[in-house]
Amino acid sequence: MGVLNSLFKISVLAIVAGSFKEGLGGHNIIEPVYVNTPVFFGPFMEDQKDLKEMVLKNRCGKEVNIKTLKKEILKYFEGENILLKNNCKKLMSEFPLKLNKTYLDIKNIFEK
């Protein structure tokens, strides 16, 4: 526990394996993105739908099927990584603004 963020910082790609098995609900895919590491994850992200949407929308990672994972990793190392890595930087520079907007939305709900 507590080691993943250090590993994500020195990685060129994170593969969040808990999202490849049905019933686990997925894992936090924003952690590697936060330290500028693109992420591959599986189709089972039931408990992390917002993070999945954010990562996909901002092209910081990719949802892949376990059967095509090897092929996708090879494609990544053939040049796709630059775009994904740049997108991680962009999203994380905007992230404080997104968090602030969420905070204000929640605050407005309770002030009504």
pLDDT digits (tens, 9 = 90+) for 91-102: 877 766 666 666
Running DSSP on this structure, what letter comes out for residue 80?
Answer: I
The string of pLDDT tens digits covering residues 65-77 is 999 999 999 999 8
The pTM score is 0.79
3-state class of 40 per DSSP?
strand
Q: Which residue(s) pair with 63 in the sheet?
A: 41
Running DSSP on this structure, what letter comes out for residue 74?
Answer: H
Q: Which residue(s) pair with 16 in the sheet?
A: 41
Between CA 24 and CA 18 the distance in angstroms is 7
Does the structure show a pLDDT above 80 at 33? yes
Domains of the chain (ranges; CATH) run: 4-111 (3.40.50.2000)
The pLDDT score that the predictor gives to residue 97 is 67
